[in-house]
Structure 1
Amino acid sequence: MRKLIYFFFFAVVLILASCTYYQFHLESRSTVENKQPQGISVEEAPDFKAIKNLAQRKHAFFSYLKPGIRYENQRTQKERDFLLNSRKGIESGQLSQAEVQQLAELSLLYSVKIPVEGPDLVWLDRMLHKVDVLPEALVLIQAANESAWGTSRFAREANNYFGQWCYQKGCGLVPLARETGMTHEVAKFKSVQESIHRYFINVNRNRAYRELRNIRYQLRNEGEDLFSNQSAIQLTNGLTKYSERGVDYVKSLQAMVRHNQKYWEDAPEEAPKTVK
């Protein structure tokens, strides 16, 4: 029975791999292209540039992004819960076909290769390092930093609130100050929600942010509240590679968390809409 399960598992993996092979090369990465999340989404962005009062702009910015961030955390938590609930089946080899297929999909989405013998507890632990929530404060502050509070060209014209790059010609907007010889563009998204979704996947999957995931894993094991502002500050230490500024970038994020706490805590959350 166990051999049949493993055979089915790898058949699913091969099918999924063949379907995503084109995307691997399209993005010049060994990662799977993510589907646009369905369900709760933020509305079309307001004109933040027209809000001249800085305090009001910050309130509006945080209120606008909260529902989308909350949705992504709920999505990620569901994936994590599924992995945790699969532990007994992985240990015993008694996984259903539906469980096998979903594990295969998650393994590709988060770029964690499954052992030849099938998923084991070591593989599961590696997955649990990646599939986890992000503090709302961290996401809000990075969005504020990277998009200049929603006023940047990339936020307004490309729905890109996190400065995310792409490498296929025409995939986004060419930075005006791009250095000679550089070929990257700033990715263009269909919606702000897609930008938030891709940010989550990037931070949870990219090897550049492994230190952030290790910090988060330790905090969870110590029973700390991952949604606290203090956790957000600690996780910024794993983002030195997010910007060429390195440590200075991290320090600026930490200062922003401390100085803007009152704005997101007081900001009313906009009512979400349903994505059709």
Structure 2
Amino acid sequence: MKLTSFQSKILIALISLFLLSAVIYFYSSQETTLPKMTVQEKKARFKELIIPAVNEVYAELMEQYQDVSASLKSGDNIEEIEELKVEYKAKSDAELLMALKPHPKSIAIAQAAMESSWATSRFFREAYNIFGVWSFDEDEPRIAALQKRGDKTIWVKEYSSVKASVRDYYRTIARSTAFKEFRKLKMKTDDPFALVKKLDRYSEKGAEYGHELTSIIKFNKFHKLKEVNTED
């Protein structure tokens, strides 16, 4: 059957659209596909990507914690402190300090390794989401998980950088009521093996989650990382 001029134009347009989609898909998949790596190579890549960001965020948060602690003692910067209380849902000075004091880097790094499969997960590759943080706000940058919960789409946050992801993770731990006992305990100890037991609500694995974090920290010697001095 001979095509009319109009039909030919439509066919050409459809073919062009198909080819363009194929090219876009090819290059986007190339950007997020990782080469095959040994376990050692994967871990080395993870450390290069994640640890510098954790170090930076930890140092910044520790400096803020120490500054606020000093202000509470001196009575300075009252307005700023009240704003921080609102941001971190703190009802008292003590709760604010619990929220602001960063927990050991070894825990953050171990969680990053577990949640992102050593920085190889799709969430990390496409959205810098290292910690599997969900999104419940349709107006914020986010991507959909490939699997659903029944008919419900699961969304995870999309970040602009590794550092932004790390900072939001620390903020989540600092604000959520699910980690209140964790925050209380970190004011008494920096022992990561004691603290991870209080992260059972971070994952559906419950208490097993803490056991797995303990194994990751010990096996990879993350607890040997030098922490910033927490003394005032």
- TM-score interval w.r.t. the shorter chain? 0.7 to 0.9
Q: Judging changes above 3 Å, is the alpha-carbon distance between structure 1 residues 88 and 260 closer, same or farther for their aligned structure 2 residues?
A: closer
Q: Judging changes above 3 Å, is the alpha-carbon distance between structure 1 residues 140 and 264 closer, same or farther for their aligned structure 2 residues?
A: farther
Q: Distance in 2 between matches of 1:88 and 1:142?
A: 34
Q: Distance in 2 between matches of 1:235 and 1:48?
A: 35
SS at 1:134's partner residue? coil
Identify unmatched segments of 5+ residues in structure 2. 1-30, 226-232
Q: Structure 1 residues 206-215 or 174-183, which shifts more? A: 174-183
- Pick aligned residue for 1:59 from 40, 44, 61: 44
Task: Using the TM superposition, give the Cα deviation of residue 183 of structure 1 relative to its aligned residue in structure 2, in angstroms.
Answer: 4.8
- State the match for 2:129 in structure 1: 160
Q: Is the 8 A contact 2:192 2:223 kept in 1?
A: no
Q: Is the 8 A contact 2:88 2:174 kept in 1?
A: yes
- State the match for 1:111 in structure 2: 89
Letter in 1 for 2:113: A
- State the match for 1:117 in structure 2: none
- State the match for 2:106 in structure 1: 137
- Pick aligned residue for 1:74 from 59, 62, 72: 59
1:148-203 residue CA offsets vs partner (Å, 9 max, x unmatched): 11111100001100000111236412111221243541111111111011001011
Q: Is the 8 A contact 1:48 1:57 kept in 2?
A: no
Q: Distance in 2 between matches of 1:88 and 1:263?
A: 31
Q: Distance in 2 between matches of 1:152 and 1:79?
A: 32
Q: Is the 8 A contact 2:147 2:154 kept in 1?
A: no
Task: Using the TM superposition, give the Cα deviation of residue 263 of structure 1 relative to its aligned residue in structure 2, in angstroms.
Answer: 11
Q: Distance in 2 between matches of 1:151 and 1:48?
A: 9
Q: Is the 8 A contact 2:106 2:222 kept in 1?
A: no
Q: Is the 8 A contact 1:168 1:184 kept in 2?
A: no
- State the match for 1:207 in structure 2: 177
Q: Tell which has more relative contact order, 1 or 2 (C-alpha 8 A, sep 6+).
A: 1
- State the match for 2:221 in structure 1: 261
1:168-187 correspondence to structure 2 within 5 Å: 168-169=137-138, 171-187=141-157
Does structure 1 residue 235 correspond to structure 2 residue 195? Answer: yes
Q: Structure 1 residues 145-154 or 59-68, which shifts more? A: 59-68
- Pick aligned residue for 2:72 from 87, 90, 104: 87
Q: Structure 1 residues 128-137 or 190-199, which shifts more? A: 128-137
Letter in 2 for 1:195: S
SS at 2:187's partner residue? helix
Greater percentage in helix: 2
Q: Is the 8 A contact 1:83 1:124 kept in 2?
A: no
User: Could you tell me the percent identity over the aligned residues?
Assistant: 25
- State the match for 2:158 in structure 1: 188
Q: Is the 8 A contact 1:48 1:149 kept in 2?
A: no
TM-score, scaled relative to structure 1? 0.64
Q: Is the 8 A contact 2:61 2:101 kept in 1?
A: yes
TM-score, scaled relative to structure 2? 0.76
- State the match for 2:229 in structure 1: none
The root-mean-square deviation of aligned C-alpha atoms, in Å, is: 2.3
Letter in 1 for 2:213: L
Which has the higher Rg, Structure 1 or Structure 2?
2
1:118-167 residue CA offsets vs partner (Å, 9 max, x unmatched): xxxxx211211111122111111100100011111100001100000111
